Amino acid sequence: MAFYAIKSKTMKNSIFLKKWVYPFIILFMISPVIEAQTKKLKRPSSRVGISSVDNFVRESFDLYDKVYMYDGYAEQGRPLDDGDLDVLENTLDDLTILSASAPDVLSDIDGAGVLKQGKATLQMNRAKKALSYSIKTAKKLLTEGKQEKEGEETDETSADDEVADGNGNSESSPEAPSEEPEDVSTNLEIYSKFDFVPGDKLLFFDDFSQDFIGDFPSKWNTNGSGEVVRINKVEGNWFEIKPGYNVYYIPLMDQALPEEYTVEFDIFTGGLDRQTSSTAKLGVVLDDNDSFKEGTDMAKVLIPFCQYSPIDITVINRINNKREIYSNLKADIRKDVLNQPHISIAVNKRRFRLWVNQKKYVDIPQLISPENKVKYLKFDLNGTKDGKDQIFIRNLKIAEGGVDLRRKLMTEGQISTNGILFESGSAKIQPQSYGIIRQISQVLMQDDSIRLNIEGHTDADGTEESNLKLSKDRAEAVRKALIDVFKISGERLSSSGKGESEPVGDNKTTDGKAQNRRVVFKKV
């Protein structure tokens, strides 16, 4: 009996030691390497089976782990350097975007079975805790870090402290959009309303045709990596951009950006699917410097590639080192990014507009800092999985202007533009060109007495005979667009072609060829 009592007492003591004393000793022994001030949240070990929920939870904890690590540095008294603060700021942007997608993800739970709904709700709640902690902690660390380094308060961010709640009635998570048959009549209606007008003075153009496959493009700079590639599904050379925090891709322009200009480029994607992160996005940055850091004055738009849920287009700016705008603009461009979209951007002094194909998503009147401080273009890519998600760009065109061509045609009697683009070697007008044709139609509708001749011009690639025919065909295609799309009387329009006979640029360079491919409108 005494033996049993001694054994029982010993077992109780052992339990007490295991439950209370040993953990304390272990905690004391490892305290110098504790990662954060709070007990770390446990990442769910199993999947729910609802892809949008599983992706949301995984991404929440990936970002949480990063913030928790930096919180641990702070607890240990280790100061955060500039690189750490930059990563934290980018992480906070990613947290905000992910948080905004929560209502769409929550709506996907409703159509699942009872058991799956319960498990999904528990995991979403755990992810919500991780996000809430991450946003608050990242903001705190950024504030403290910048106060320590700059001696002043950091700018407030517009990130919410809590994850948004929402309800929906969809029965399953949204499928990645598939390509649908083209409706010609619908497209004509879209083209007739497209109001983007590209600049008429070319500043930079690169289709990577002069670069060797596998090389980094000769007219760009980076602190990361990338290469020119050929893709079997599309023609031409493409520049593959690689993901990375604080990695920038900068076109080497001969001059700074003016007050009024346009930027255009094509995107091709590969490997995007329901596993592509909601933080996968291409940043187009207008900055006050051409280095590998964001300046005190900048404007940035983030183009999303996520497929399991629609993700907003995010617009951010900074003026005199103070963030004034952080907007998440509703957009569902999942189908667009799978089908080689054309991006058009117009900057008119402080006004910033962006179109994806022919649809305008951004129009902010005072995004750009005053005094024309923002003078350089950069690209960055984050959130994609290297080796799986692939992002390529081509046909980057930067041109001064982008202003109203109507007045110039009325006062000077003619305009020349290289903003009307055609498919390579053909007379098929590319959709992004209809903004210029729309303005020409408005001049003709305003004054019934005006008659125009439309002249086509080409570069010197190919034979003189073929270029002359191509220039005539392209001029006629523009004439037909004015008749068919904008309902202008054909009797008021004529067309002709000059081929390669009247160059305005050097046909031995990419930029010169782009200048020579143009359409001229003349009053007759």
Q: Are 391 and 346 within one domain? A: yes
Q: Are 397 and 425 within one domain? A: no
Provide the pLDDT confidence category of residue 192 given band limits of 50, 70 and 90.
Answer: low
**What is the structure's pLDDT at 164?**
43
Provide the pLDDT confidence category of residue 2 given band limits of 50, 70 and 90.
Answer: very low
Q: 425-444: per-residue pLDDT in tens?
A: 899 998 878 888 988 998 99
pLDDT of residue 274 exceeding 80, the answer is yes
Q: Is residue 125 part of a domain?
A: yes
Provide the pLDDT confidence category of residue 387 given band limits of 50, 70 and 90.
Answer: confident
Domain end: 96, 127, 150, which one? 150
- Cα gap 69→162, rounded to integer Å: 20
Instruction: Say which residue, 403 or 177, is predicted with more confidence.
Output: 403
pLDDT of residue 185 exceeding 50, the answer is no
- Cα gap 121→237, rounded to integer Å: 46
Q: Is residue 173 part of a domain?
A: no
**What is the structure's pLDDT at 191?**
67
**What is the structure's pLDDT at 404?**
65
Query: Residue 398 has what DSSP assignment?
Result: E
**What is the structure's pLDDT at 326?**
92
- Minimal CA–CA distance to 388: which of 267, 309, 270? 270
Q: Which residues contact 98 (CB under 8 A, 6 or more apart)?
A: 56, 59, 60, 63, 131, 278, 279
Q: Which residues contact 6 (CB under 8 A, 6 or more apart)?
A: none
- Cα gap 331→313, rounded to integer Å: 6
- Domain around 272: 184-401
Q: Is residue 174 part of a domain?
A: no
**What is the structure's pLDDT at 187?**
58
pLDDT, mean of residues 342-371: 93
Q: Is residue 492 part of a domain?
A: yes
Q: Are 250 and 308 within one domain? A: yes
pLDDT of residue 366 exceeding 80, the answer is yes
Q: Is residue 168 part of a domain?
A: no
pLDDT of residue 269 exceeding 90, the answer is yes
pLDDT, mean of residues 488-515: 92
pLDDT, mean of residues 477-493: 93
> Could you please report the per-residue DSSP string of 180-222?
----HHHHHHHHHH-----EEEEEEEE-STTS-TTSPPTTEEE
Q: What is the pTM of this model?
A: 0.62
Assign residue 439 the CATH number of its domain.
3.30.1330.60
The answer to which of 170-179, 267-276, 280-289 has the lowest mean pLDDT is 170-179
Instruction: Say which residue, 409 or 171, is predicted with more confidence.
Output: 409
Q: Are 127 and 238 within one domain? A: no
Q: Are 216 and 135 within one domain? A: no
Provide the pLDDT confidence category of residue 140 given band limits of 50, 70 and 90.
Answer: confident
**What is the structure's pLDDT at 338?**
94
Domain end: 366, 401, 436, which one? 401
- Cα gap 400→199, rounded to integer Å: 5
Instruction: Say which residue, 406 or 448, is predicted with more confidence.
Output: 448
Q: Note whether 440 and 520 are within 8 A (CB).
A: no
Provide the pLDDT confidence category of residue 168 given band limits of 50, 70 and 90.
Answer: very low
- Cα gap 262→298, rounded to integer Å: 16
**What is the structure's pLDDT at 151?**
56
Domain count, the chain: 4
Q: Which residues contact 364 (CB under 8 A, 6 or more apart)?
A: 315, 325, 327, 351, 352, 353
Q: Is residue 385 part of a domain?
A: yes
Most confident of 87-91, 108-112, 370-374, 500-504: 500-504
pLDDT of residue 463 exceeding 90, the answer is yes
Q: Are 190 and 231 within one domain? A: yes
**What is the structure's pLDDT at 182?**
42
Q: Are 8 and 64 within one domain? A: no
Q: Are 447 and 322 within one domain? A: no
Angle between helix axes 82-100 and 114-150 (nearest 10 degrees) is 150
Q: Are 49 and 108 within one domain? A: yes
pLDDT, mean of residues 135-154: 72
Q: Using a pLDDT cut of 90, give the percent of the chain over it.
A: 44
Q: Are 139 and 252 within one domain? A: no
**What is the structure's pLDDT at 478?**
95
Q: Are 245 and 284 within one domain? A: yes
Q: Where are the alpha helices (DSSP H) in 362-463?
A: 405-412, 434-446
Length of the chain: 524
Q: 8-29: per-residue pLDDT in tens?
A: 544 544 444 444 444 443 433 4
**What is the structure's pLDDT at 16?**
44
Provide the pLDDT confidence category of residue 188 given band limits of 50, 70 and 90.
Answer: low
Provide the pLDDT confidence category of residue 395 given band limits of 50, 70 and 90.
Answer: very high
pLDDT of residue 393 exceeding 70, the answer is yes
Q: Is residue 177 part of a domain?
A: no
Q: 83-138: per-residue pLDDT in tens?
A: 777 778 878 888 887 887 777 777 777 777 778 888 888 888 888 888 888 888 88
Provide the pLDDT confidence category of residue 228 given band limits of 50, 70 and 90.
Answer: very high
Assign residue 288 the CATH number of its domain.
2.60.120.200
Specify the amino acid at residue 23.
P
**What is the structure's pLDDT at 3?**
45
Q: CA-CA distances (angstroms) from residue 103 to 119, 164, 517?
A: 17, 6, 48
The answer to which of 119-128, 216-225, 461-470 has the lowest mean pLDDT is 119-128
- Cα gap 373→259, rounded to integer Å: 9
**What is the structure's pLDDT at 152?**
45
**What is the structure's pLDDT at 189?**
59
DSSP strand pairing (493-499 vs 452-457)? parallel
Q: Is residue 469 part of a domain?
A: yes
Structure tokens at 412: 């000077």
pLDDT, mean of residues 41-53: 84
Structure tokens at 336: 């667009």
Domain end: 401, 425, 440, which one? 401
- Cα gap 70→66, rounded to integer Å: 7
Q: Are 296 and 396 within one domain? A: yes
